[in-house]
A = this chain, B = another copy of it.
Amino acid sequence: MVKKIQSLLVANRGEIALRVIRACGELGIKSIAIYSDEDTRSVHVKRADKAYYLGPPSPSESYLNINKIIEIATKVGADAIHPGYGFLSENENFPELCSKNGIIFIGPKKPAMEITGDKMKCKAVMKKADIPFVPGSEGIINDVEEATDIAATAGYPVLLKSAFGGGGRGIRLANDEKQLRQEFEMAAAESKAAFGKAALYVEKYLQRIRHIEYQLVRDAHGQGRHLFERECSIQRRHQKLVEMSPSPVMDKETRNRIGEIAVRAAEAVDYLNAGTAEFLRDEHGNFYFIEINSRLQVEHPVTELVTGIDLVKLQISIAQGEAIPFKQEDLSLRGCAIECRINAEDPFYDFTPSVGVVPNCTIPYGPGIRVDTYLYPGCTVSGYYDSLVAKLIAWGKDFEESRVRTKNALNEFTVEGINTTIPLFKTIMDEDNFLRGELSTDYLERFKILERMNRVAVENSKKDLIPAVSAILLRSEFIKKSHSYQKSTSFRPGLGWQSKG
């Protein structure tokens, strides 16, 4: 049953490709990178044992080009493919195409991916396994009477959602039955006009929601384990910004109770390899299952730091057919880890993307600090791919230690040439509600964090005023001298001011 993987193709780029390449190095597996024209000098190409050209920059012609990737893997005789996250990682045809070509796919099988990838299918399977969902309709509701019945059971306020909606569109709030009846009429009419039928469902409206998820692993022998929770409530437009483990609201009893539910959810879909069960937690401490993410997640390092388990190496050993080498009771959670997702976006300008060459950068080090990044001095941040350029993860013996370590490391972290979200995280690490663990998915709006960040930036600028003015004065002097010495080679005229005394 166990087939030792000798070589592994990483069907991804950036920090996650580097992460997988490092795991291969530790296991003595030959790592194979693939790269688009945009990535010829990327760190994953530099660090892999072998690197093969994939295609033009556009994802559809490169990292999403499933046939080309399989073709390369076959040509070079790769034993296995690791999909990373994003790109093809949740494409349910990928595992099958791999196995047809005799390649081990590091992830779940097609049937599990099909179920976890389809909300309705997944809900049906999970209900059977007695996994708690947000109270509401089983599926699409037929009329307003059904809606009010369900709302009465779930309790008001409720949300009325259109099955065709998405990203916040088509969602209506009802605080009582009267309002629900009004909204139902309007929503049904709207839905009919747009899609030909009134596909609506009702769901309890949860307030002060926390996003808490469980790291899962399950092997080919049917052994399932959870590696405790991660709290990922700090988000912006449904994108996670800060993740941590443990969650400040979890006690041991709850941790184990929800953990067992998470493992049961994995069993219900015969899950294989590493995945994540996502839950919402309302302000009363109730947990509701949302979905299973059938891949390694961006935030997996926080779990690695508190459990001491290397998830990528574990993924590879599970894919080889090996049994998970630990029991649930062998696992323990030590200390606390916080991750900040450093994106190449301008937090002062509506998080607009920022791309280009990074002439220089300083990556923080020191006790408890881990950085997963593809940045290096001289690298390029491309506009073709997503904006995550680095993950800063800090371990501490408790929340407070990991928080101050994160804060210090953020102060050491500099990235030239592009804008990053570092200033936002500096603000969060010093914010009172964050310190108190007072988190919810609307954390940014609720506590006006962006306004705070802008204020902090101004305060910092005031502190730096004397050195900044000094620097400008030094520069004027330098330019004046350069002129008078006729050092024309290293001086670009017209760039700066003249010193006018």
* A residues neighboring B (CB under 8 Å): 18-19, 22-23, 25-28, 47, 301, 304, 308-310, 334-335, 362-363, 365-373, 376-377, 397, 401, 404-405, 408, 411-412, 489
Chain B residues with CB under 8 Å of A309's CB are 397
Partner of A308, one of B334, B362, B411: B334
**Nearest Cβ distance between residue A372 and chain B, in whole angstroms?**
7
Chain B residues with CB under 8 Å of A369's CB are 370
Partner of A310, one of B18, B334, B367: B367
Chain B residues with CB under 8 Å of A47's CB are 412
Is the Cβ of B362 less than 8 Å from the Cβ of A370?
Answer: no
**Nearest Cβ distance between residue A184 and chain B, in whole angstroms?**
52
What are 20 of the A-B contact pairs (CB < 8 Å)?
A: A19-B366, A22-B367, A22-B408, A23-B367, A25-B404, A25-B408, A26-B401, A26-B404, A26-B408, A27-B404, A47-B412, A308-B334, A308-B335, A309-B397, A310-B367, A310-B368, A310-B397, A363-B363, A365-B371, A366-B372
Known pairs A22-B408, A25-B411, A26-B404; A370 contacts B363 (CB<8 A) = no
Is the Cβ of B26 less than 8 Å from the Cβ of A405?
Answer: yes
**Nearest Cβ distance between residue A418 and chain B, in whole angstroms?**
19
**Nearest Cβ distance between residue A308 and chain B, in whole angstroms?**
5
Partner of A489, one of B334, B411, B489: B489
**Nearest Cβ distance between residue A358 and chain B, in whole angstroms?**
13
Chain B residues with CB under 8 Å of A310's CB are 367-368, 397, 401
Q: In the complex, what residue of chain B is closest to A309 when comparing beta carbons?
A: B397
User: Which one of A310, A362, A367 has the greatest number of beta carbons of chain B within 10 Å?
Assistant: A367
Q: Chain A's interface: helix, strand, loop or mixed, by majority?
A: mixed
Is the Cβ of B22 less than 8 Å from the Cβ of A366?
Answer: yes
Is the Cβ of A372 less than 8 Å from the Cβ of B376?
Answer: no
Q: In the complex, what residue of chain B is closest to A28 when comparing beta carbons?
A: B404
Chain B residues with CB under 8 Å of A334's CB are 308, 334
Is the Cβ of B376 less than 8 Å from the Cβ of A370?
Answer: no
Q: In the complex, what residue of chain B is closest to A23 when comparing beta carbons?
A: B367
Is the Cβ of B397 less than 8 Å from the Cβ of A308?
Answer: yes
Q: In the complex, what residue of chain B is closest to A362 when comparing beta carbons?
A: B376
**How far apart sit A310 and B394, CA to CA, in the bound complex (Å)?**
13
**Nearest Cβ distance between residue A239 and chain B, in whole angstroms?**
24
**How far apart sit A398 and B229, CA to CA, in the bound complex (Å)?**
24
Is the Cβ of B376 less than 8 Å from the Cβ of A365?
Answer: no
**Nearest Cβ distance between residue A51 and chain B, in whole angstroms?**
14
**How far apart sit A27 and B26, CA to CA, in the bound complex (Å)?**
35
Known contacts A22-B366, A304-B367; 4 additional CB pairs below 8 A are A22-B408, A27-B404, A367-B370, A369-B370
Chain B residues with CB under 8 Å of A19's CB are 366-367
**How far apart sit A19 and B369, CA to CA, in the bound complex (Å)?**
13
**Nearest Cβ distance between residue A99 and chain B, in whole angstroms?**
29
Q: In the complex, what residue of chain B is closest to A403 when comparing beta carbons?
A: B26
Q: In the complex, what residue of chain B is closest to A18 when comparing beta carbons?
A: B366
User: Which one of A310, A335, A362, A372 has the greatest number of beta carbons of chain B within 10 Å?
Assistant: A310
Q: In the complex, what residue of chain B is closest to A305 when comparing beta carbons?
A: B367
**How far apart sit A203 and B220, CA to CA, in the bound complex (Å)?**
60
**How far apart sit A285 and B371, CA to CA, in the bound complex (Å)?**
41
Chain B residues with CB under 8 Å of A26's CB are 401, 404-405, 408
**How far apart sit A370 and B371, CA to CA, in the bound complex (Å)?**
10
**How far apart sit A297 and B363, CA to CA, in the bound complex (Å)?**
25
Q: In the complex, what residue of chain B is closest to A364 when comparing beta carbons?
A: B22
Chain B residues with CB under 8 Å of A412's CB are 47
Chain B residues with CB under 8 Å of A377's CB are 377
